[in-house]
Structure 1
Amino acid sequence: MIQPIRRGAYRFYARRLRAQLAGKSLPRHVAMVMDGNRRWARQVGFDDPGVGHRYGAEHVHEVLGWCADMGIHHVTLFVASVDNMRKRASEEVENLMRMIEEVVAEPLLRPANPWQLHLAGRADVLPDSTRHALKIAEDATRERGAEFHLTVAIGYDGREEIVSAVRSLLEQEARAGATLDDVAQRLTAETLAAHLYTGGQPDPDLVIRTSGERRMSGFLLWQAAYSELYFCDVYWPGFRKIDFLRALRSYSARSRRFGA
């Protein structure tokens, strides 16, 4: 009897949160640091904490559904940093990459899936199979004319992204015959931003990090300069719709200053 009561109370609270957001300013672009998969697995009693990666990967599509339902058209997910790829145990990295291939990339190929995939990060640090699966999904969804855009940050480091953008800009200018002085005179934030992994996409309005950690970990260092930040104590696989709606409620109550 207790479980039905709890489910009913949960649904009532979710509807109440949703009603509070009616007519409020909501983010156009939400970025998420999906943290705490292994800690969640240990918390719920799994012998293998790596099982949390599967639950976390499966949870991605549910959260994307919440975003679409709320009219959020751009979502960026931080899946793995360059340091994650280099420093975590090889078995854990292999498990995570397999989950990305099977649970994240493959469902995006389904015709009914509305999301167009974009990639952000260094493809050279990914296993061949993961790089191939993500590339297939990116190519297959490119011509969708989708109104919903999903960016997966994998093999990603915010400082490396800025360095790469500077290098790309200088190489482009050199091919055009420009001197360093020419580049320096014309350089603006907008021209450099066009060379980021996310060039052409809007910056995130809201960044959500799960697991209780209060740091960015190198995520979207340039793009999130004026983003609102929301830190949630629950681990990613346990991130509920009411947690998501609370984050949106917090965002809607803030007065954005954009650096002022």
Structure 2
Amino acid sequence: MSMKIPFFKSKQPEKFNQASDEKVPDHIAIIMDGNGRWAQKRGMPRFLGHKEGVTAVMKIVKAASQLKVKTLTLYTFSTENWKRPKAEVDFILKLPKQFLHMYLPDLVYNNVRIGTIGDMEKLPDHVCEPLQYAVDRTKDNDGLQLNFALNYGGRDEILHAMKSMFQDMNDKSLSMDELDEQQFAKHLYTAGIPEPDLLIRTGGEKRLSNFLLWQLAYAELVFTDVLWPDFSEDEFLLAIKEYQQRQRRYGGI
């Protein structure tokens, strides 16, 4: 009988100990950009960049778990990504099932809890069913919360929340006088999930691309030119180190 191997050896590498000297963000969100360009730079089809990006996902999940990050949210497929060529979209939408087939046993063993945010009803069954299985399989874990943002768009989420809130008002379960930021947040896809402390975007672009527009109001933003498949544990640590040097005032002094 084979023995399951934890993500990390019992003795942590020195570089992780150094990053742990100061406050590590509780919630890190990542826009994983640059897969297609990574492949094109190497004369390869774009889809191979997305495949290579899956390996980078697991590296960062492991690093986040070891650093005791509480929540990691990955921008996996946006509402705008449907505009890409059908063959590329079809390939991307096969990746969650492949990722879980390869790594779900390790995620379960290492106490990772899986979640999703976005309009899952518009995704095909071959995406939703394995993800729902993973959510159910890990629901009792209390380690790293790993969220996949799938068919997710910030504006779509806000509209969805407004419709849900108006329905509650029509049902008399919510009154106009009760409306505030906390009530609104309860109707978002991220209800119950703390807002990100740090957003990392790879690939050289410096924009949010419709990601967590409400939730990122006071997050620290770190942009890197490194393309996602090349985004290593060291790059992840550099982003966290930069976060640790920021002063978060939330509008105060």
**TM norm structure 1:** 0.86
Q: CA separation in 2, counterparts of 1:16 and 1:250?
A: 18
1:136–1:254 Cα change, 3 Å: same
What does residue 30 of structure 1 align with? 28
Q: Which position in structure 2 is the counterpart of 1:129? A: 126
Aligned to 1:157: 153
Asked if 1:99 is matched to 2:95, the reply is yes
Distance 1:108 1:172, change over 3 A: farther
Which residue of 2 is the match for residue 40 of structure 1? 38
SS at match of 2:25: coil
The aligned amino acid for 2:130 is A
Aligned runs of 1:192-231 on 2, under 5 Å?
192-231=184-223
More off after superposition, 118-127 vs 29-38: 118-127
Relative distance call for 1:38 and 1:145 in structure 2 (3 A) is same
* CA deviation after TM superposition for structure 1 residue 125, in Å: 2.6
Q: Is the 8 A contact 1:82 1:125 kept in 2?
A: no
CA distance in 1 between partners of 2:71 and 2:20 (Å): 20
**1:118-151 C-alpha deviation (Å, 9 max, x unpaired):** 1111113312211112111112211x23221011
Count the aligned residue pairs.
Answer: 240
Amino acid at match of 1:134: L
- Name the larger-Rg structure: 1
Aligned sequence identity (%): 35
**Measured at CA, do residues 98 and 22 of structure 1 come closer, stay the same or move farther in structure 2, by a change above 3 Å?**
closer
Structure 1 residue 117: deviation in Å? 1.2
1:236 equivalent in alignment to 2:222: no
Q: CA deviation at 1:38?
A: 0.7
RMSD over aligned Cα, in angstroms?
A: 1.9
| Structure 1 SS opposite 2:109 | coil
Alignment gaps of 5+ in structure 2: 1-12
Which residue is equivalent to 2:48? Answer: 51
Using a 3 Å threshold, how does the CA distance of structure 1 residues 165 and 189 change in structure 2: closer, same or farther? same
Aligned residue in 2 for 1:75: 72
Deviations 1:41-89 (A, max 9, x none): 122332x12111111122211110000111111000001111102x111
Q: Identify which of 208, 227, 243 aligns with 1:251.
A: 243
Q: 1:36 to 1:202 in 2, by over 3 A?
A: same
Q: After the TM superposition, which parts of structure 1 deviate over 6 Å for at least 4 consecutive aligned residues?
A: none
